[in-house]
Amino acid sequence: MTSTANTGQRFREFKMPDVGEGLTEAEILKWYVNVGDTVSDGQVVCEVETAKAAVELPIPFDGVVHELRFGEGTTVDVGQVIISVDTQPGAGPAEEAPASTAAHAEKSAASALAEDAEPEQQGRQAVLVGYGAAPSSTKRRPRKAGATAAAGRGVPSQAGACAAAPQASFTAALQGELNGRAAPAQAPAAAPAPAVGPGAPATGARPLAKPPVRKLAKDLGVDLVAIAATGADGVITREDVYAAASAAAAPEPSAAPERQPAPAAAPALAARETRIPVKGVRKATAQAMVASAFTAPHVTEFVTVDVTRTMKLVQKLKDDPDMAGLRVNPLLIVAKALLVAIRRNPDVNAAWDEENQEIVRKDYVNLGIAAATPRGLIVPNIKEAQAKTLPELSQALADLVATAREGRTSPADMSGGTVTITNVGVFGIDTGTPILNPGESAILAFGAIKLQPWVHKGKVKPRHVTTLALSFDHRLVDGELGSKVLADIAAVLENPKRLITWA
């Protein structure tokens, strides 16, 4: 984690860190401190949500909170300052530089003028995940009244040449040098600045857009300069790029088509609709599922099985003193049955290496458990699940579920999975066709257990029955192997004694 200092190292700034796996942004979920609160090194000051998980951020120095730069619910890029701290609260009032000029406060007036005159020659500042955006592409604060007044006295405006307006704090620092320069005897009248529409970039200015948006525009062949920005402070959004690409791809109509009257009910319907921003875990899940569905060739097989003996075993384990205090349920036995099936069919526990065109078989099982949380669907996994005893597996499952429900699952807990179980039965669903977690070879859907008429020992009796569905990557697992794995799981659930005989 990095911080910058200004005003003689008194005011220190804490930047949004890269909390894991090279993520480029995070949303501030909650602030635990307010302006004026005292903080100490290592104290958690806020909770942020990335595309992987919710993470608490500790601050790396002592002091008093001077400013919170962003409110709750704001998405912040990695490397942006989110909080400033007064490390010398007893030193009395001090003149501070505005938030957007912290990097300039220690520079001389001459060097500041040179930077404003030649913005394209400035270097890019290193941040936590590489190099940040060029200064001309960062978000700018509105021009202060002091800068406008200076322009009215004949000081050349650099709003067009430099994408950022001079900061109010510079004005006072540079006024002496500016006033000391002799104006030409017959200075030509300054040409009026061209009118710029609200969303269009100034002439010669670099369009404002985040790196992912720039990449999107490049991939779609769209010129950012020609796009009218609709984002805050003139920032070009992904929607602006898509709109420009659609407009460019639309064929020129040979004749003006007849305008169809809009449905009268449309405004009324729109007023009854709610738009929910897709971000964080839900956005990452959507992208991962689309990538998985259109990358790995899915095959799903089904089996309906009598699990009456498994239900009896669950009840006996609940009464067993050795399992006292542990969570015992059918999912525990299903997880153990899947681990036994993988041990009998190790080729199913593999991954596809696209770059090297290789199948990577894994001798460890990181068992993922799909968990529905208020933040969306996440899939944390139990590391080295194949080596755990039944009590250890029960404890690991309980810890995993509790951590997920509290929103404390870390990115490390969700990475490196090999196979997954999704328990749709808790919602009363018989089964489904689950989509593979990206990078994994198989996913087992465990349906609801219901009393149904079943032929048992030649007679129709009410039995506990469930349906299992196994989806697998057909590049790794052919029909024979997938069928063997699913049959083994069903066999264990039908007769749990196989947990011992097949071990």
Residue linked to tokens 């003139």: 234
- For 393-503, list the strands marked E by DSSP: 419-422, 442-446, 450-456, 459-473
Contact 319, 440 (CB under 8 A): no
Alpha carbons 135 and 137: distance in angstroms, whole number: 5
Calculate the alpha carbon distances from 215 to 211, 237, 295, 457 in Å: 6, 12, 22, 65
Cα–Cα dist 36/307, whole Å: 61
d(CA 319, CA 331): 17
Q: Can you read off the two tokens belonging to residue 439?
A: 């990078």
Backbone angles phi, psi at 420, to 5 degrees: -135, 150
Q: What is the dihedral of CA 468, 469, 475, 476, to 10 degrees?
A: -20
DSSP string, 95-115: ----GGGTTTTTS-HHHHHHH
> Quick check: is 474 catalytic?
yes
Q: Which of 66, 104, 298, 474 is catalytic?
A: 474
Length of the chain: 503
Rounded to whole angstroms, the Cα distance separating 326 from 391 reads 7
Catalytic residue positions?
474
